[in-house]
Amino acid sequence: MLDTATGLQLRDSLVLLDQKLRALLRVLLDRAEKTRTLVCAARTHGQIGVPTTYGLRFAIWASEVARHIDRLSEILPRVAVGKLTGAVGTQAALGEKGMEVQETMMSFLGISPVDVANQVVPRDRYAEYIMFLAGVATTLDKIGIEIRTLQRTEIAEVEESFGKKQVGSSTMPHKRNPIKSEQVCGLARVVRAAVEPALQNNTLWDERDLTNSSCERVILPEATILTDHILQVMTRVLEGLTIHRKNVRKNLELLGGVPLAESVMVELTRRGMGRQEAHEVLRESSMKALAGGKTLASVLGGNREVTALLSSKEIEILLDPDRYIGTAPAQVDRVVARLSPLCAS
Amino acid sequence: MLDTATGLQLRDSLVLLDQKLRALLRVLLDRAEKTRTLVCAARTHGQIGVPTTYGLRFAIWASEVARHIDRLSEILPRVAVGKLTGAVGTQAALGEKGMEVQETMMSFLGISPVDVANQVVPRDRYAEYIMFLAGVATTLDKIGIEIRTLQRTEIAEVEESFGKKQVGSSTMPHKRNPIKSEQVCGLARVVRAAVEPALQNNTLWDERDLTNSSCERVILPEATILTDHILQVMTRVLEGLTIHRKNVRKNLELLGGVPLAESVMVELTRRGMGRQEAHEVLRESSMKALAGGKTLASVLGGNREVTALLSSKEIEILLDPDRYIGTAPAQVDRVVARLSPLCAS
Amino acid sequence: MLDTATGLQLRDSLVLLDQKLRALLRVLLDRAEKTRTLVCAARTHGQIGVPTTYGLRFAIWASEVARHIDRLSEILPRVAVGKLTGAVGTQAALGEKGMEVQETMMSFLGISPVDVANQVVPRDRYAEYIMFLAGVATTLDKIGIEIRTLQRTEIAEVEESFGKKQVGSSTMPHKRNPIKSEQVCGLARVVRAAVEPALQNNTLWDERDLTNSSCERVILPEATILTDHILQVMTRVLEGLTIHRKNVRKNLELLGGVPLAESVMVELTRRGMGRQEAHEVLRESSMKALAGGKTLASVLGGNREVTALLSSKEIEILLDPDRYIGTAPAQVDRVVARLSPLCAS
Amino acid sequence: MLDTATGLQLRDSLVLLDQKLRALLRVLLDRAEKTRTLVCAARTHGQIGVPTTYGLRFAIWASEVARHIDRLSEILPRVAVGKLTGAVGTQAALGEKGMEVQETMMSFLGISPVDVANQVVPRDRYAEYIMFLAGVATTLDKIGIEIRTLQRTEIAEVEESFGKKQVGSSTMPHKRNPIKSEQVCGLARVVRAAVEPALQNNTLWDERDLTNSSCERVILPEATILTDHILQVMTRVLEGLTIHRKNVRKNLELLGGVPLAESVMVELTRRGMGRQEAHEVLRESSMKALAGGKTLASVLGGNREVTALLSSKEIEILLDPDRYIGTAPAQVDRVVARLSPLCAS
């Protein structure tokens, strides 16, 4: 009976988590739409590379959250189950109609019956639930890390909304600490930590032992409540997130167009320069630009091999980050179109 | 490109694991069918209680393995994906038709394209794969623990098949060590341990960092190969498992019918004895039987309150474990009927 | 300041845990002393082998608990530390005497100062504390598993003390469920799960981030309280543990002396039989004994090759488990002598 | 015998790891000494705050590595043990002098004997070894994260040494990817993952089961080799790390002295201004400076309340980060003096 009650609780938890995942998805899609062409520096290995857009970033997160919604719908019927199988699974005390009784009762409760069980519901089901939570928490952890990064003083592209009464530091009033994202990252560790005990709880002895009991009293509510909490916190963080467009632009232009060298190189080759030569020209010019604190455009403008093939207007266009974002806006549109039905507001 | 190759490998791995899960399911259903009425002692808290059947035990494992097959089919399209999104996800170097090119190429490779991605495929997908493996490994761990338990000298109901050349111990030729099940339990720990790193690999910085790379080179092949291995080992163990029916019976009768007291109690109540009184009668009689090394039937046969309501033949029938297995055979039949299509041989 | 308070709490926790480890050690040494020659079946791979003693078993656990006491004394000065290093570790606001001020204040508080720190005490220290708890919890888990095993109906050598009001099962009054040991095993999983978050909390960014904070609010008290709790529970379980000597003897003799074949084999070799031959004689005789439900002594007594070299009295002595426990009692005595000073009552 | 061999291997591993920890410590102390007064921006929550020094940062890491050296010396005698206790721990086949034989043999091998054991060395010892490795790996993980952060394009204070043949990216020759630190962070996850299996390996059944065997064959060599590897990689990274002092300075001055507001505030109070008032003056001036892109000094220089108490020279001195590093150099010196004996080159 205890397990049936747990099945009901897990069903209710999943229904609530589903709502909150959809709310988060809604926020991410909104932000993706509004920033579909907000060009910004992309970073790989922490190094600024070719541009991307904030819209794509939000769309990638939205897509991941949508996968969690899919997962939830798949695990729900496996997780939210009850049983009426008696002391060891045989329904010996229930009479001949045991299976029908179980079916009827679970149907009344609105959850599925197990097909078979011993004294307890097999714990692969609950482990699956906890692994689902761990996956969700880790997505939030990743988003939290990104916000904390983009809010770093030297980058300063985004900022968590800041309560009016909140003080960053009494002696350092300028500080804008991303404390909500930090909280999310910290608690995600606790949620993930429930996975291993949840799996071990599936290795019960014989028709059941009691080791799962004390363990589940801690990890089931804890992992559920913390996931629910950080889902809400992160949704609010993303909803209220300020994007400092000036700083976005500053970082985008930080390297004077050098990250876009690829764009010019490809065009030079098209216009007849040897691939090897084009590569070398761009490499040297890039180094020169970085060393001298100049833009790549100005260095290329002084290179005769280049100017023989490209006008300065053409160079400028090739190095314009706003024109080098490929299908990012179209990809965002497709994600928004596909996923909006999941979270119609 | 590397991630697309990984997508292909994971697809192939899942196809192989699917076959092996179905082979394991086949063995479990076969054993369940053949032991559908093999009555045995059930144990909760390590204590012998009312009877169950080997068939139900195998059916419960079969049902769990079938759930893994379901899970596999759900995660496959999410895990086996490729991408052609360029350096940071924008397809900037691919021209306007980037999305179509990606679609075509992945269709050619037989895997799904990501909808959006940055430089890498989001790692929630691979974490899901590893968590799936951990779930499978833990089921095998549980089965291994049960076999090792049932093979204990004092229980001795089952025995791993024993190679002709295999020697348990040079000085103790009688030993039948369940070393294959032990191996499965040990390696399941390693598979489970891959979950946390796999989740952490999803927390990549910005458009990607490289921390996942070194980690995945270890955990992806290791967790895959070990799961595949222990799946095979456990399938062979179950296939070759000897069941010592004499010992099964011995354990079933070990407590002289005391575990079935419930059966008599219910009947006494039906025939008019007060519930409280019936409970007390059975409690006392059970204690007497255990203390004196007698069967519960013989003690009850000497109790006038009981014999006033039940003949000794009736008592015998009520305490017959073979008649106290409820719907276990029917439940087994239903599981076999439902799951056999998944593993038609 | 918060970290200094944590340092004080951890010191107090370790002092309490130290007392409880010593109380547990006291119980284990007492039991070891009292059972130093209580011969019982040893089991490897779950199979009964040559004999051991309960005394040795308790002494092995005592030795492990004593190692935890050693570990505690080693980590205490590293874990119980405080700091007064200002906002980022430089003591800039403390004036020139910062280091002395810190020293004095910590000396007043009775904990060590850090040598250096940034805004926070480095978390390798707290991770070490949690790993210590995980080690202790795992020892208790192991003992719990052993008690649950030895209390199995078919083995029934030990029994958790049983509160007068406690009812194993309303319908199965004979059941003696080892629920306290089960609780210990279940909660040990939760304690172990704190290790990974505790380690991750050491990877703080720069001079500190806040991710550790939310995480530690959960794991530090939880892991501490649960370890403390299961230490007490297991101490009480061991203190009140009933050993059913009759059953111990029954299991010891379960295989009719076969596990002691080694003893006869060695003696036969000493008296001139070829090693190969002796091995074969014993193998065959063991198999015969097991198959026929006879004692090995009776089978050997009917073997002329054997009786040519050994009298039946000699065979009996060689197969007497009480004489085949080697230095076990001496080893127990040594452990008791060495470790008693750690827990003088 | 297998466990004794493992004891010898673990001893050798620890000897090698000890050397490598000391080599890493040497590098950290060298760097700390050379940068004892290299003032830089400290960051908490990713936000620039009051200054610190690179020397203090290196000293904090050195202190942590020294703690690992201490830990290693403490666990070595517990981990590097052997045994000669026979099949189940009683030394029954060894004769009366079993304990002396064991002592002599282990002394010959140069490792300690266990005091007591059953068929195997208790696994709390090996778990302790793995937890030690996990602690070391996590320290390296933390250092790796910091280097990757400080090497971010927008921060650019440090740079991993860059092999001449190494190319960051064919199309982005300017990229300086911290791939060695990234590798360290990724592999640290694998090392940490060995902790839980290592602990579970301590929960062997009875006098031993075999589950530890398959598990240890994977995790013992893997965790050892990976820790050894990342120790070496990180030592080389730190040895060859370039510090871009120009960028260090640029970040230090990025906020125009605002992070040092505290310094002026304290002095204004000393000279008679009310604490509350001083706080408000600094808060407003800081905001004005940040909003207008001015230095705090220039804003304060235009504030009569301030200039009534402080000359512009005094303001300049109070806002000089080089004068606001408290005891950092002295703390570094103390650490270097204390720890140098551990790694005399």
Q: By the CB < 8 Å criterion, does B300 face chain D? A: no
Q: Could you tell me if D103 and D40 lie in one domain?
A: yes
B65, B70, B115: best to mutate for the A interface, most A CBs within 10 A = B115
Q: Which of C94, C124, C334 sits opposite D115 (nearest CB)?
A: C334
Average pLDDT over residues C341-345: 88
At residue C315, the 3 state secondary structure works out as: helix
Q: Which residues contact A258 (CB under 8 A, 6 or more apart)?
A: A286, A289, A290, A296, D172, D174
Q: Which of C49, C170, C172 sits opposite B49 (nearest CB)?
A: C172
Distances A130 to A229, B201, B320, D210 between C-alpha atoms, Å: 15, 18, 42, 29
In chain C, the percentage of residues whose pLDDT exceeds 70 is 96
C293 lies in a domain? yes
The span from the CA of A161 to the CA of A180, in Å, is 9
Q: Could you tell me if D304 and D233 lie in one domain?
A: no
Q: By the CB < 8 Å criterion, does C214 face chain B? A: no
Which tens digits make up the pLDDT trace of B121-165? 999 999 999 999 999 999 999 999 999 999 999 999 999 987 655
Q: By the CB < 8 Å criterion, does A337 face chain B? A: no
> What pLDDT does D162 receive?
75
Six token digits for residue D63: 């202190």
A344 lies in a domain? no
pLDDT band at C320 (very low <50, low <70, confident <90, very high): very high
Q: Could you tell me if A196 and A287 lie in one domain?
A: no
> What pLDDT does B95 receive?
82
Q: By the CB < 8 Å criterion, does D311 face chain B? A: no
Instruction: Check CB contact under 8 Å for C218 and A179.
Output: no
Q: Could you tell me if D135 and D202 lie in one domain?
A: yes
> What pLDDT does D176 receive?
86
The catalytic residues of B are 45, 169
| Minimal CA separation from B48 to chain C, in Å | 6
Which class for A316: exposed (0-12), middle (13-18), buried (19 or more C-beta within 10 A)?
middle
Into how many domains does chain B fold?
A: 2
* CATH for B182: 1.20.200.10
Q: By the CB < 8 Å criterion, does C64 face chain D? A: yes
> What pLDDT does A176 receive?
86
Distances B261 to A119, B253, B298, B317 between C-alpha atoms, Å: 18, 13, 13, 12
D84 lies in a domain? yes
Average pLDDT over residues D110-123: 96
Q: By the CB < 8 Å criterion, does A116 face chain B? A: yes
| Domain end (from B251, B274, B309) | B251
The catalytic residues of C are 45, 169
The span from the CA of A261 to the CA of A263, in Å, is 5
Q: Is the pLDDT of residue B344 over 90?
A: no
Instruction: Check CB contact under 8 Å for D46 and A153.
Output: yes
Q: Could you tell me if A139 and A190 lie in one domain?
A: yes
Q: By the CB < 8 Å criterion, does C195 face chain B? A: no
Catalytic pick from A169, A213, A311, A312?
A169
C118 lies in a domain? yes
Angle, CA of C95, C99 and C101, to the nearest 5°: 75
B160, B169, B209: best to mutate for the D interface, most D CBs within 10 A = B209
Q: By the CB < 8 Å criterion, does D43 face chain C? A: yes
D188 lies in a domain? yes
Q: Could you tell me if A220 and A148 lie in one domain?
A: yes
Q: Could you tell me if D23 and D48 lie in one domain?
A: yes
**Element of type H or E holding A81:** strand A81-82
Tokens 């007591």 found at: D116
Annotated catalytic residue A169: yes
Tokens 């206790």 found at: D85
| Minimal CA separation from C86 to chain A, in Å | 12
D183 lies in a domain? yes
> What pLDDT does D170 receive?
59
The whole-number mean pLDDT for each consecutive block of 10 residues of chain A, a chain of 345 residues, reads 93 98 98 98 96 98 98 98 93 90 95 95 98 98 98 97 63 82 98 98 98 98 98 98 97 95 92 93 93 94 95 95 96 98 88
Tokens 């007849």 found at: A272
Which has the closest alpha carbon to B246: B167, B323, B175, B156?
B156
Average pLDDT over residues D330-336: 98
B337 lies in a domain? no
Ordered DSSP codes for B250-267: HHHTTTTTGGGHHHHHHH
Q: Which of C177, C182, C255 sits opposite B174 (nearest CB)?
A: C255
Q: By the CB < 8 Å criterion, does B152 face chain C? A: yes
pLDDT band at B82 (very low <50, low <70, confident <90, very high): very high
Q: Which residues contact C60 (CB under 8 A, 6 or more apart)?
A: D89, D116, D117, D118, D122
| Minimal CA separation from C142 to chain D, in Å | 4
R_g over Cα of chain C: 27
Average pLDDT over residues D140-161: 97
Q: Is the pLDDT of residue B46 over 60?
A: yes
> What pLDDT does B162 receive?
75
Average pLDDT over residues D236-253: 97
Q: Which residues in chain D have Cβ-Cβ distances shorter than 8 Å to A41?
A: 153
> What pLDDT does A296 receive?
96
Six token digits for residue D321: 């980060």
Q: Which residues contact A102 (CB under 8 A, 6 or more apart)?
A: A83, A84, A85, A91, A94, A113
B242 lies in a domain? yes
In chain D, the percentage of residues whose pLDDT exceeds 90 is 91
Q: Could you tell me if D18 and D82 lie in one domain?
A: yes
In this prediction the ipTM stands at 0.96
The span from the CA of A24 to the CA of A16, in Å, is 12
> What pLDDT does A303 receive?
95
Mean pLDDT of chain B: 95
CA A211 to centroid of chain Cα atoms: 34
Q: Is the pLDDT of residue D68 over 60?
A: yes
Annotated catalytic residue D169: yes
Q: Is the pLDDT of residue C123 over 90?
A: yes
> What pLDDT does D320 receive?
96
Q: By the CB < 8 Å criterion, does D152 face chain A? A: yes
pLDDT band at D65 (very low <50, low <70, confident <90, very high): very high
Instruction: Check CB contact under 8 Å for A214 and C183.
Output: yes
Distances A164 to A151, A168, A193, B258, D46 between C-alpha atoms, Å: 18, 11, 35, 71, 21
Q: Could you tell me if A265 and A205 lie in one domain?
A: no
Q: Could you tell me if B191 and B304 lie in one domain?
A: no
Q: Which residues in chain D have Cβ-Cβ distances shorter than 8 Å to B186?
A: 201, 210-216
Instruction: Check CB contact under 8 Å for A182 and C219.
Output: no
User: How would you label D249-284 residue by residue, b for 16+ Cβ within 10 Å and e otherwise?
Assistant: bebbebbbbbbbbbbbbbbbbeeebeeeebbebbbe
| Minimal CA separation from C165 to chain D, in Å | 31
* CATH for D300: 1.10.40.30
Instruction: Check CB contact under 8 Å for B193 and D189.
Output: no
| Minimal CA separation from A259 to chain D, in Å | 6
Query: Secondary structure of D183-239 in the HEC alphabet?
Result: HHHHHHHHHHHCHHHHHHCCCCCCCECCHHHHHHHHHHHHHHHHHHHHHHHHHHHHH
Q: Could you tell me if D50 and D81 lie in one domain?
A: yes
Q: Interface partners of D (3+ CB pairs, < 8 Å)?
A: A, B, C
Length of chain B: 345
| Domain end (from A251, A278, A305) | A251
> What pLDDT does B3 receive?
95
pLDDT band at D84 (very low <50, low <70, confident <90, very high): very high
The span from the CA of D222 to the CA of D231, in Å, is 14
Range of the domain at C295: 258-318
Phi, then psi, of D43 in degrees rounded to 5:
-135, 125
Q: Could you tell me if C219 and C150 lie in one domain?
A: yes
> What pLDDT does D344 receive?
84
